[in-house]
Structures are given as structure tokens and as C-alpha cells.
Chain A
Amino acid sequence: MSTQYKPAIHFQHVDYRIGDIEILNDITGSFPQGRITTLVGPSGAGKSTLLKLCNGLISPANGEIFVKDKAIGEYDPVELRRMVGMALQSAPMISGTVYENLNLPLELQGQQLAKEDALELLEDVGLKGDLLDRKVKELSGGQRQKVSIARTLVNKPEILLMDEITSSLDRASKLEVEELISKINRKYKTTIIWITHNLQQALEIGDYTWVMMDGQVVETGESSLLEDPQNQRVNEFVKGVVS
């Protein structure tokens, strides 16, 4: 897929299992650098597991993963996770204020985020500056997700992973977060790999799409593939979801 772009992340015959249960089976493929790739597929297809493999929260049972042409095992885990940021589905927050959450990535490195930088980050994700001292428990679902994304951006990741970050949001918040994903990609040239259940989102936001089913990648290509899938199972999935 996408031979004109260098791969930011490349999977080569990757398997992942928990005990005897196979979660991912023989995954091979690349995520192009500087582009947005969407992972779609039914629940339990292994999409979230694949994202966790990308920033080393878990390791494959077999196969190799390359991040910027270097085997993932050769990276120091801390260095890797700062380069490959991840926004989690539940947008977990540490108790305290929005600023304390934005400061967390630098606090872990013994540094402190300047207030001006924090305000700029909030502006980047479409939040007002007066939220900076607000307790995170007072935020709406959409605001939490945006703070979670802004927090991930503090490390200036070259690759950003997003795990179903719009699944629990209302329509207005979904649209805002979709716009934000495109904006981050344009502004920072960040490679983005994100999961959604919404095929319309995949068509509108993603440059490329991986369709996953039962722990396998069944079809990849430009997102327009979802309009006319070649694979029979993908076709059934698309029709099922769209209808």
C-alpha cells in the first residue's frame, strides 16, 4: 500500500496471543509517514491490540515491528513511547486540574510545562484558556478527550495513536475531534493511526484504511476502498455497518 510514502511503522508477520488465545495473526503492512490511517473492523478484531504493539505497551509473540526502519526492540521503551504517543479510549486523567494533566508528560521527565505553552496547546485542540485551572472531573466527555489529545502532544510525538477516541462523544464533539485530527496532521506533519467504528469518519478523515477482522488484516488501501470493497467479508461488514 501507498508505495509513495515511507513507512512510519511496518509490521512483518506479527502474531500476538494471550495464553492460547490468538488475538492477532500474521499481520503484515505499513502505516505511511505523515498520513492518517484509520483502523476499522468489528469489536474483537484486534485493533486496540495492534495500537498497543505500536508503542511497545505489549510485544508480539512472533514477527517484527519496525518504527522508522528500526526494530521496535532496539528502542529504549521510554524513548519509543515519547516518539509514538497514544490517546487512550477512556481518556484517563490524573486527579487535579487540566494544567496538572497537561504538565504530566514533562513532570515524568522532571520538567515543567510553561503556562503559555499549556494555553497554546489548549488553543490547538479548540479549548478555551480559562479551562486551564478547571478540575478535570468538571469536564465534559468531549473536553476530556481534547485534553487527553493535548496531553499526548506535549511530548511532540512523530506518530500519534488514537484508540476510539470519539466513540462516547455526541455528534458535535465528534465533528470537533475529527477536525482536530486533521489539524494535528496538517500542522505538525504527525503520522496518525486511529481506530473508529464509524465508516463515514474513516472515509472523511483517513487517507488510508486497514480493515481488520478476527485478528487479521483483510483489506488495506486508500480510504475510498470502503465505498467499493474487493473483499467479500469487508463488503458484508461495510453494508452491515452502513445500513
Chain B
Amino acid sequence: MSYWALSLTLIFVLIPLLLSKTLNLGLGRDMTVATIRSIIQLLAVGYVLKFVFDSESLLYIFLMVALMIIAATHNAQKKGAAIQGITWKIAVTLIFVEVLTQGILIGFNITPATAQYIIPISGMVIGNSMVLSILFLNRFTAEVEDHQDQTELILSLGGTPKQAIHRQLINSIKASMIPTIESQKTVGLVQLPGMMSGQIIAGADPIQAVQFQLLIMFLLLTTAAVTSVFLGYLSYPTLFNKRMQLLKG
């Protein structure tokens, strides 16, 4: 795409700006800031990626992935403020998911161990893991609050904390995985995934683009399941003390 063509894409920003002004939506400032931020952030990432790809240094790859994990942890931890030590629990979950998925991809020689593959795939894995963490924590904190009487019932009958929270944990894991599973069911029918569309537009063979998309989708299914289960089992014990009492607030 030429710079002239790229400049013309700003038409897609002007349309909502005009609508906002005409209808007094009051979104003009937010949209302008969002546009400027996305231009700066994406261009910066583009140059950083070019530098890392050219250098082929494992240290830079590691730093890029570490940065992604730190940013994702920072973003997700706000939703789990009620859970003690949630920041490191999310960080450990993201690291575990990243190591597991890259371990399988590189270990089984599915993708090469180069920056060109590791960084974009890590971005998708960590980004999805972050969203899953937020979905899980949102649901889990609500479930614990809404079903406090069930938790107390099982504790009062001599159940363990794990038994007392089991239903809420399972409900939260299932609920957080629904969007991933549902989007897989309709993929290709309702929407063409962004990565596949990008490859096709860039001139790749559609069949090859589909193969990569399948790889990513299966990868994201593992990401979703492992994130919810791992984060769930790390989180629930902190809701109780050593006397098996439910800690409130």
C-alpha cells in the first residue's frame, strides 16, 4: 500500500467524526485521540518488529514477549482486585500459557523458532489469554458473591473450600470459554478472521492462509481452556483462610 493510499484511509476516520459533530455525540475528541494513538503505537510496533526481525536476537524476542505479558497483566488485574495476589496469579497464568503453546509449536516443529513466528503468535496467545482472564475474573467474583449461601452451606456441612467453591468455579470457567467456542463454530460463515484476511490481502495463497488460521484457532482453544482452569485453581484458595472460612470483601 502506498503512503498516498494509507493517507486516504483517514476518510474512515472523517466519516464518524462528521457524524459525531452533526449529531452532537460528543465523541470527536475521543476518536481523534484514539486515531492518533493507534497511528503512533502501530508505527512504533512496526519499527520495533522490523528491528527485532532483522536482529534475530533471542534476547529481543524474549523482551518483546515479556513486555506483552506485563502490559496484559496490568490490564487484567483491575478486574480481580477482590482476589488476593491477583497480579502475580495472572502473570504466572500468562507465562504458563505462553510457554506451553510455544513449547508445543516449536517442540513439534509446527512453526520455526524465529521472531517472525514467535512474536505475532505470542501476541495472539497473550492477548486472548488476557481477555479470557478478564472474562473469568468478572464471572468468578460475581458467582462467589451471588452464591455465598451455597458456599456457606457446603462449608457448614463439613465440605472443604474446594468443594464449597466447585460449582462457582466450573460455571466461571465454562462462561469465560463460551465466546471462544462460539466464534469457532461460525468462523468462515459469519466472519473471516483478521489474520487470515490480512494474509489473503497481502497476496498469500488462501489455502495456506486457512491452514495458519486453523493453527491459530486450535491454539486459542487451548489458550482459553488453560487460562481459565489455571487462573481458577490459582485464585480460589485465596478466598478462604486456614480455618476453611470464607473471607469476605
In the assembled complex, A10 has its CB within 8 A of some CB on chain B? no
Which of A103-111, A118-126, A178-186 lies at the interface with chain B? A103-111
Contact between B156 and A88, CB atoms less than 8 A apart: yes
- Contact pick for B149, options A79, A85, A92, A109, CB 8 Å: A92
Which residue of A has the minimal Cβ distance to B244? A77
Interface size on A, residues (CB 8 A): 25
In the assembled complex, A114 has its CB within 8 A of some CB on chain B? no
Q: Which residues 50-84 of A sit at the B interface, judged by CB distance below 8 A?
A: 55-59, 73, 77-79, 81-82
Contact between B157 and A105, CB atoms less than 8 A apart: yes
Which residue of A has the minimal Cβ distance to B147? A92
Contact between B245 and A56, CB atoms less than 8 A apart: yes
Interface size on B, residues (CB 8 A): 18
In the assembled complex, A173 has its CB within 8 A of some CB on chain B? no
Counted as pairs of residues, one from A and one from B, with CB atoms less than 8 Å apart, the total is: 58
**How far, in whole Å, are A81 and B160 apart by their CA atoms in the complex?**
11
**How far, in whole Å, are A104 and B159 apart by their CA atoms in the complex?**
9
Contact between B158 and A108, CB atoms less than 8 A apart: yes
In the assembled complex, A155 has its CB within 8 A of some CB on chain B? yes
Contact between B157 and A152, CB atoms less than 8 A apart: yes
In the assembled complex, A33 has its CB within 8 A of some CB on chain B? no
Contact between A57 and B155, CB atoms less than 8 A apart: yes
Contact between A86 and B156, CB atoms less than 8 A apart: yes
Which residue of B has the minimal Cβ distance to A87? B156
Chain A to chain B: the 9 pairs with minimum beta-carbon distance, closest first? A82-B158, A77-B244, A92-B149, A108-B159, A86-B156, A81-B158, A92-B153, A105-B157, A78-B158
By a beta-carbon cutoff of 8 Å, the part of chain B in contact with chain A is 149-150, 152-160, 163, 167, 243-246, 248
